[in-house]
Chains A and B, each alone.
Chain A
Amino acid sequence: MLELKNVEKNKYLNNINISINEGEICYTNSPLLIPIFLHLIKINSGEILYFKRTDKKSFIKTLNTIGYSKELNYKNKKHSVIEYLKYSNSFYSPNYEENINNYLNIFSLDPHKLIVDLDLCEQKKLTLINALYHDPKIIMLVDPFKNADYNLRLTLTKVLYEQKRKGSAILYYSKELEQNLITDKAFIIDNKELINIDINKLKSYKRITIHTNTLDTKKLENINIYNLDIDKLYISFISDSPIDDIIKKLGYYTIDDIYITNPNLKEIIEICKQN
């Protein structure tokens, strides 16, 4: 559906090859991939393909089928939510007013609220509706879960699964991989290069922190652990082993003292490189 072939961008990307197919949800940690796909920034060499075509004229037509959401940077203070969406809708034919109303309901956003009065979560809702109402075949989202409250996270996840089911290709960028969203592919760029990491492997890494001063560190030898950090009051490490296994091997059953969090992407990349 959309591809990058041998793309180079001076200091940031080197020989990047990417393909996104129908019904795939893809993640990238590079803020450049979406702008490159949208021709918002130039590349030094390589090709950008939509439906196997590279020419710019067909790209303008393809924009009919692309939904794009980024942080709201719209400073017309007099516009209300509905005015903004109607203006956006004026670029497309046919008219998607019914879809707009549906999405306003789904995301529970007041259509008559002025843009200037929207809080960050509502602004996020507005940009997401703007990306979705025209039934796009390709959806590109920048930081879709940033500033999103619990309800919005839940709604967005549902909406994206629905779009995936309909066959839309979804590419999202954020600094960290969204653990709650089933992602089919991850395009991790490190040091200009695309790193080949399996998405399930990527999600399997957990940071485990145990608040204890009595744990026998010899027990840790039986577990796959990385980035170990030992303090008087706690031990903390990253592991890709199942949690049950870890707890069994450590012989530690007081679950109240165990905290499981997602390690940051940089740490995972380092571990993957070591392996």
Chain B
Amino acid sequence: MQTKLIKNEFKATLTTFIIWTIIILALVSVFISINPILFSHSDAIINKLDVLPSKVKTILFIDTNTFNTHIGYYAIMIEYLLIIGAICASVLAYKILLWDKINGYDEFLFTKPISRKKLFLNKIICFTTLILIQNILFNIVSIILVKIIIKNINIITLLQINSSLLFSELTFGAISILTSSFVKKTKRIYRVPILTIVILYLIAIPERVFNISILRYINPFSYFKVDDIIIDNHYKLSFIFASLIIIMFCLRISVINYEESEIKIDID
């Protein structure tokens, strides 16, 4: 019975998952493929980028000091990928959590001999599995392309940098699972997660531009900075903990909300 439920969850999210995975893999492929062309003109590009105000460069994740290094260039790509990944994770989380409500399965499931906690757990298993599969594919594609095109990046460092996508997808996924558990309407459901990502991204701007360290704890976008890997060779433990606390907190509140959720009844 559990397997059938999980299978149904997978079926429900398969199209969304495939579309977003293709987008992420395509972006990685394009970014890595144009690397040799950019590198051959790196001095000219850096000169042009240097014209931009430093704050704008920070907002656009551009660091001209490291732009002409392979790892620096890869770091810029990852920063953009984190935004795409966050949106992808949020959309997937919303689809998985609200699918039953949208399609009228919730009442069907809630009257079957299975606890709501188990139903919720199945959704979490499905979400985590999809994110893991996506990250495995992303790692395979990026390693192959880097090996063929860029060549001189250490694979361990690359995997460490890549893991920021996994961590941030899980964190943003958990945040979206939480917000979706408060959603009552089933139309235009993606407004809330996308808005959440935009707001969190906007919070990241003053943190980056003015280097306000306290804001870094508020915003999951800043938890897994590639700079930390490049400089220290590992992520800061405090941010990994912060991320875990956010995930645990969001899931705990969401499961309570899910267990207490009501079915809409027409009373006339």
Q: Is A61 an interface residue (CB 8 A)?
A: yes
Flag if A73 contacts B104 (CB, 8 Å).
yes
Q: Is A68 an interface residue (CB 8 A)?
A: yes
For A76, list chain B residues within 8 Å (CB).
103, 105
Interface string of A57-101 (1 = CB under 8 A from B): 000110110101010011110000000000110111000000000
Name the contact of B113 in the complex, choosing from A32, A63, A73 (C-beta under 8 A): A63
- Closest B residue to A63 by CB, please name it: B113
Q: Is B114 an interface residue (CB 8 A)?
A: yes
- In the bound complex, CA of A66 to CA of B113 (Å): 9
For A252, list chain B residues within 8 Å (CB).
none
Name the contact of A40 in the complex, choosing from B1, B107, B114, B267 (C-beta under 8 A): B107
- In the bound complex, CA of A32 to CA of B112 (Å): 19
For A68, list chain B residues within 8 Å (CB).
111
For A61, list chain B residues within 8 Å (CB).
113
- In the bound complex, CA of A208 to CA of B260 (Å): 48
For A70, list chain B residues within 8 Å (CB).
107
- Closest B residue to A69 by CB, please name it: B111
Q: Is A220 an interface residue (CB 8 A)?
A: no
Min distance, Cβ B157 to any Cβ of chain A, angstroms: 46
Interface positions of B from 88 to 118, Cβ below 8 Å from A: 103-105, 107-108, 110-115
For A31, list chain B residues within 8 Å (CB).
265-267
Min distance, Cβ A269 to any Cβ of chain B, angstroms: 16
Flag if B112 contacts A75 (CB, 8 Å).
no
Total inter-chain residue pairs, C-beta < 8 Å: 57
Flag if A91 contacts B110 (CB, 8 Å).
no
For B112, list chain A residues within 8 Å (CB).
63, 88, 91-92
Q: Is A12 an interface residue (CB 8 A)?
A: yes
- In the bound complex, CA of A60 to CA of B105 (Å): 17
Min distance, Cβ B146 to any Cβ of chain A, angstroms: 41
Name the contact of A41 in the complex, choosing from B8, B114, B263 (C-beta under 8 A): B263
Q: Is B185 an interface residue (CB 8 A)?
A: no
Q: Is A42 an interface residue (CB 8 A)?
A: yes
Flag if B267 contacts A64 (CB, 8 Å).
no
Flag if B113 contacts A40 (CB, 8 Å).
no
Min distance, Cβ A130 to any Cβ of chain B, angstroms: 8
Min distance, Cβ A25 to any Cβ of chain B, angstroms: 20
- In the bound complex, CA of A88 to CA of B1 (Å): 9
Q: Is B48 an interface residue (CB 8 A)?
A: no
Flag if A41 contacts B111 (CB, 8 Å).
no
Q: Is A38 an interface residue (CB 8 A)?
A: yes
Q: Is B4 an interface residue (CB 8 A)?
A: yes
Interface positions of A from 205 to 219, Cβ below 8 Å from B: none
Q: Is B50 an interface residue (CB 8 A)?
A: no
For B107, list chain A residues within 8 Å (CB).
40, 70, 73
Min distance, Cβ A72 to any Cβ of chain B, angstroms: 8
- In the bound complex, CA of A70 to CA of B108 (Å): 9
Q: Is A35 an interface residue (CB 8 A)?
A: yes
For B111, list chain A residues within 8 Å (CB).
38, 40, 63, 66, 68
Q: Is B262 an interface residue (CB 8 A)?
A: yes
Flag if A92 contacts B113 (CB, 8 Å).
yes
Name the contact of A75 in the complex, choosing from B8, B104, B115 (C-beta under 8 A): B104
Name the contact of A91 in the complex, choosing from B1, B8, B260, B265 (C-beta under 8 A): B1
- In the bound complex, CA of A68 to CA of B108 (Å): 9
- In the bound complex, CA of A11 to CA of B100 (Å): 28
Q: A63-B111, A90-B4, A91-B113 are contacts. A41–B103 as well, Cβ < 8 Å?
A: no
For A41, list chain B residues within 8 Å (CB).
262-263, 265
Min distance, Cβ A115 to any Cβ of chain B, angstroms: 11
Flag if B1 contacts A90 (CB, 8 Å).
yes
- In the bound complex, CA of A23 to CA of B130 (Å): 48
- In the bound complex, CA of A40 to CA of B111 (Å): 8
- In the bound complex, CA of A38 to CA of B104 (Å): 16
Interface string of B241-268 (1 = CB under 8 A from A): 0000000000000000000101101110
For A73, list chain B residues within 8 Å (CB).
104, 107-108
A and B contact pairs by CB, cutoff 8 A, 16 listed = A31-B265, A31-B267, A35-B263, A40-B110, A40-B111, A40-B263, A42-B262, A63-B114, A73-B104, A73-B107, A74-B104, A74-B105, A87-B8, A91-B1, A91-B113, A92-B113
Enumerate chain A interface residues (CB-CB to B < 8 A): 12, 31-32, 35, 38-42, 60-61, 63-64, 66, 68, 70, 73-76, 87-88, 90-92
Given contacts A32-B265, A35-B265, A66-B111, 7 further A-B contacts (CB under 8 A): A31-B265, A39-B110, A41-B265, A60-B113, A60-B115, A63-B112, A73-B108
